[in-house]
Amino acid sequence: MNVSLTPGPDMERRILDFARSELFIRTFSEGMTLVEETATYLDGPGRAASKRLERDASLTYAAESMRLTTRLMQLASWLLVQRALREGDLPVSDALEDKYRMGARARREAGLRTIDDSLPDALLLLMRRTNSLFERIGRLDDQIYGEDGPVTEAAADSVQAQLSRLKQAFEPD
């Protein structure tokens, strides 16, 4: 389901504060550098390294390089959405759509796995760096947008109302 919600002012401020932060600038730079490094490796030294592998290892290399490329595309997409928010090219309400999220659900769907140590060291390093960044961005997404999706103002008010009732119920007369 791809529903676009209207964020409350607190959520919008939190999202835009992150997109305008130094942390975002560093994360964006790290992510895009990793994309470039991976593309350079896979198109050059990685291609040569894969040709020297045994058949089974070569198949594993192909599968892992596709998984790596997919994960990097997800990272780059998320980073570009945040940059679009920063530059005012995308409304916050659009960024709340599931297709732009990298939170816990996206990480579960990606199924981070144990890395096969029989692959070339350079590929293993790129995979580990990508997995680390993927996890960090997933945690950022959870913190910024909420782990199970954005928390609406109505839900926050409902929780506050419940807490107030509990407090009244247990206060001495």
Integer CA distances (angstroms), 40 to 26, 58, 100, 119, in order:
21, 19, 26, 17
155 has a pLDDT exceeding 80? no
Q: What is the rounded CA–CA span in Å between residue 52 and residue 142? A: 41
pLDDT in tens, 100-154: 888 665 666 565 566 677 899 999 999 999 999 999 999 899 889 876 544 444 4
For residues 135 and 76, the answer to whether their CB atoms sit within 8 Å is no
Q: Is residue 3 domain-resident?
A: no
Q: What is the CATH number of the domain that holds 45?
A: 1.10.8.930
Given this model, what pLDDT does residue 8 score?
78
The two structure tokens encoding residue 17: 């504060």
Q: Residue 153: which of 9, 14, 2 has the closest Cα? A: 9
163 has a pLDDT exceeding 70? no
Query: Percentage of the chain surpassing pLDDT 90?
Result: 58
Q: Is residue 1 domain-resident?
A: no
SS3 94: helix
Q: Is residue 64 domain-resident?
A: yes
Q: Is residue 4 domain-resident?
A: no
Among 26-40, 50-64, 79-93, 151-165, which is the least confidently predicted range?
151-165
Given this model, what pLDDT does residue 102 score?
82
Rg of the chain over all Cα atoms, to the nearest angstrom: 21
Give the chain's domain count.
Answer: 1
pLDDT in tens, 3-47: 445 667 888 999 999 999 999 999 999 999 999 999 999 999 999
Integer CA distances (angstroms), 166 to 107, 119, 136, 153, 160, in order:
35, 57, 36, 20, 10
Q: Is residue 122 domain-resident?
A: yes
Average pLDDT of span 70-80: 94
1 has a pLDDT exceeding 60? no
Q: Residue 141: which of 31, 9, 1 has the closest Cα? A: 31
For residues 133 and 31, the answer to whether their CB atoms sit within 8 Å is yes
Q: Residue 136: which of 58, 54, 28 has the closest Cα? A: 28
Q: Is residue 2 domain-resident?
A: no
86 has a pLDDT exceeding 50? yes
pLDDT in tens, 61-73: 999 999 999 999 9
Structural domain for 106, as ranges: 9-170
Given this model, what pLDDT does residue 147 score?
62
Q: What is the model's pTM?
A: 0.77
**Buried/exposed code over 78-112 (b: 16+ C-beta within 10 A; e: otherwise):** bbbbbbbbbeeebebeebbeeebbbbebbbeebee
